[in-house]
A and B are shown apart, each in its own frame.
Chain A
Amino acid sequence: EGKLVESGGGLVQPGGSLRLSCAASGFTFTMYWMTWVRQAPGKGLEWVAHIKEDGSEKYYADSVKGRFTVSRDNAKSSIYLQMNSLTAEDTAVYFCARARKYCPGGNCYHDYWGQGTLVSVSS
């Protein structure tokens, strides 16, 4: 049974930076695309980014492009989300999820999810 555990959330001032981590276990990490999804308080889910098995391909939502960077360390079975130039609109619970199928093909879905980590952007 796969397990994902996010960490690194917290309170940060507007314009600040934060790095989220997601540690995976219970499955062969190197075989899967991985995704970050966020959920603002009381709102719906929003896809943020995903990264290929070997880290060679990365895709971002327009709302975070140029400010966020997704990366992975397969030796540590972990993915990361470096978030810069944060604004109040980035306040959300950030989930990492395991993706199934080839994500650039448009049909990937997410079968394992972490419990999420809360990022609050406020002065």
Chain B
Amino acid sequence: QSVLTQPPSVSGAPGHRVTISCTGSSSNIGADYEVHWYQQFPGAAPKLLIYGDNLRPSGVPDRFSGSKSGTSASLAITGLRAEDEADYYCQSYDTNLGGSYVFGTGTKVTVL
């Protein structure tokens, strides 16, 4: 059971905006560890989408943005497109039990 909780699914119409939350605690996001986001299509490897809370790697459209506040982080997708339909995972670090990297529970984005 992951220590980072995400909604199982979010959906939106093409062109609309959706947000995915990543809720943690004082031992991970709240301890100011960075949050990173990955996009994964079925049967494929994860792809880095956002790193360092709100930075986009080269080639990632600016429709994707990240933010963090307190013990939570969010990924926003604006101008939703059919090709954005995928699973999304947040990742951070947790200091409990000696420390380990943790991923969120994952969110399926559906474009209506």
Contact = CB atoms under 8 A, between A and B. Distances in A.
B46 A109 contact: no
B46 A44 contact: no
A6 B52 CA distance: 27
A21 B19 CA distance: 37
Contact of B57 (A44, A47, A111, A116): A111
A43 to B, nearest CB: 8
- Which of the four size classes fits the interface of chain B? 20 to 34
- Which of the four size classes fits the interface of chain A? 20 to 34
> Would you call the interface of chain A mostly helix, strand, loop, or mixed?
strand
A110 B37 CA distance: 10
Contacts of A11: none
A113 B101 CA distance: 16
A115 interface: yes
Given A109-B36, A111-B48, A116-B45, A45 B93 contact: no
Q: Which 10 A-B pairs have the closest CB atoms?
A: A106-B93, A113-B45, A47-B101, A109-B36, A45-B103, A44-B106, A107-B34, A109-B51, A106-B33, A111-B48
